[in-house]
Amino acid sequence: MSRRRLHVVAAVIERDGELLVSLRNPKGTRPSQWEFPGGKVEDGETEAEALVRELREEMGVTCDAGALVKRVVHAYAETDVEIAFYRANILEGEPRPLSMAELRWVRRGELPAFDFLDADRLFIAELARGEDG
């Protein structure tokens, strides 16, 4: 039996030297951990389309999907997760936490102090060191 694989996109949105991060809801999968805004890629969607849709649904903003920054595959106990991190720019609206517990703008050096999802941790360490190309 093959393992389930979840395909996810996440936005790296930077403004005034800070990155936008979101706190997962206290109920559900991996509760109350930090991540980059984004979500699942649905069947028939490109990664860019999924990112734009997820940011509209989760934060009420219109964004573009820029360059791919990093792709990570992480094995959790129950599933494998493939995350594609894209640069994104907010074109319209101010981000609000519509489907997450909180949104926060954070300086790169502060990122390691947050309890991020295991799948995000290597990328977080790279961002904190300024290694995101």
Residue 30: closest CA among 59, 15, 8: 8
How many Å from the N-terminal Cα to the C-terminal Cα in the chain?
38
Residue 58 lies in a domain: yes
Q: CA angle, 38 as apex, 87 and 52 as ends, to 5°?
A: 65
Structure tokens at 113: 């102090």
Residue 133 lies in a domain: no
pLDDT tens digit string along 63-106?
999 999 999 999 998 899 999 999 999 999 999 999 999 999 99
pTM of the model: 0.93
List the beta bridge partners of residue 21.
Answer: 104
Kindly report the CATH number assigned to the domain that includes residue 120: 3.90.79.10
pLDDT tens digit string along 21-76?
999 999 888 889 999 999 999 999 999 999 999 999 999 999 999 999 999 999 99
Structure tokens at 95: 């981000």
Residue 29 lies in a domain: yes
How many domains does the chain contain in total? 1
Residue 105 lies in a domain: yes
* Domain range enclosing 34: 5-128
User: For residues 39 and 83, what is the distance between their CA atoms, to the nearest angstrom?
Assistant: 9
